[in-house]
Amino acid sequence: MRIDILSVVPELLESPLNHSILKRAQAKGLVDIHIHNIRDYTLDKHKKVDDYAFGFSAGMVMQIEPIDRLLEKLKSEREYDEIIYTSPDGEMFNQKMANSMSLYNNIVVLCGHYKGIDQRIREHLITKEISVGDFVLTGGELAACIMTDAIVRLIPGAMTDEQSALSDSFQDDLLAPPVYTRPAEYKGWKVPEILLSGNERKINEWEYEQALERTKKLRPDLLK
């Protein structure tokens, strides 16, 4: 898989994308993550990539020319499954979406900034808009990191224990059950006896029941 991330502040992406599972996945050749500075594709001598909005709206807007120029270059080199824009009013990112996107070959993620991007980019160049929540960030870089992390960890071989991803929250529309580790007792707080029994069938039943109860209590909307 190849992920191209377009940003006006690429420095924000460097650390989150080069540690832990993401670092190992890149080292194994499972994913290529390329960060592109949109400022490198403007013809403005001051590397300016934004301008005032037409009308009376406040804030600066990312211009169409440098983004289109960069996208044209990338699309001339390969085909992309999706060209994604991180936007507060996009489709809500979730685990099912991450599962599907982990099967893609190539994706582009355009990070919004300032007041947003010229609407013509959204109408003519973007194939999918994604939000990570009902809130506004300074820019789309953090959203791009969240999406990239969620997608890459699902690529076979990215995680040391691939089975671990199958028991993550939301994989089966349930929250994950509680987990415990050693010591079995601490300050009188004990691990449930069933988890110490060694009975795999009963433990699986207990975990499912716990996941169901937690979901009913904390996220009943998932059960719909």
* Domain 167-223 CATH (choose: 3.90.1150.10, 2.40.30.10, 1.10.1270.20, 1.10.1240.10): 1.10.1270.20
* Domain 2-152 CATH (choose: 2.60.120.260, 3.30.2010.10, 3.40.1280.10, 3.20.20.70): 3.40.1280.10
Question: What confidence tier does 56 reach under pLDDT thresholds 50, 70, 90?
Answer: confident
Question: What pLDDT digit, counting tens, does each position of 131-187 carry?
Answer: 999 998 999 999 999 999 999 999 999 987 655 555 566 777 899 999 999 999 999
What pLDDT score was predicted for residue 220?
A: 95
Q: pTM for the complete prediction?
A: 0.88
Question: What pLDDT digit, counting tens, does each position of 82-116 carry?
Answer: 999 999 999 999 999 999 999 999 999 999 998 89
Return left, alpha or beta for 133; rule: phi > 0 is left, psi -120 to 50 is alpha, else beta: left
Cα–Cα distance list, 221 to 175, 191, 211, 215 (Å): 11, 29, 14, 8
Amino acid, res. 107:
I
Instruction: Report the candidate in 132, 106, 110, 144 with the shortest Cα–Cα distance to residue 16.
Output: 144
What pLDDT score was predicted for residue 58?
A: 85
What pLDDT score was predicted for residue 171?
A: 73
* Dihedral sign of CA atoms 206, 210, 146, 91 in order: positive
Instruction: Report the candidate in 112, 132, 218 with the shortest Cα–Cα distance to residue 175.
Output: 218
Where do the structural domains in the chain lie, given as residue ranges? 2-152, 167-223
E-strand stretches of 38-105: 50-52, 60-62, 82-92
Question: What confidence tier does 191 reach under pLDDT thresholds 50, 70, 90?
Answer: very high
Question: What confidence tier does 60 reach under pLDDT thresholds 50, 70, 90?
Answer: very high
What pLDDT score was predicted for residue 164?
A: 58
- 48 contacts: CB under 8 Å, gap ≥ 6: 42
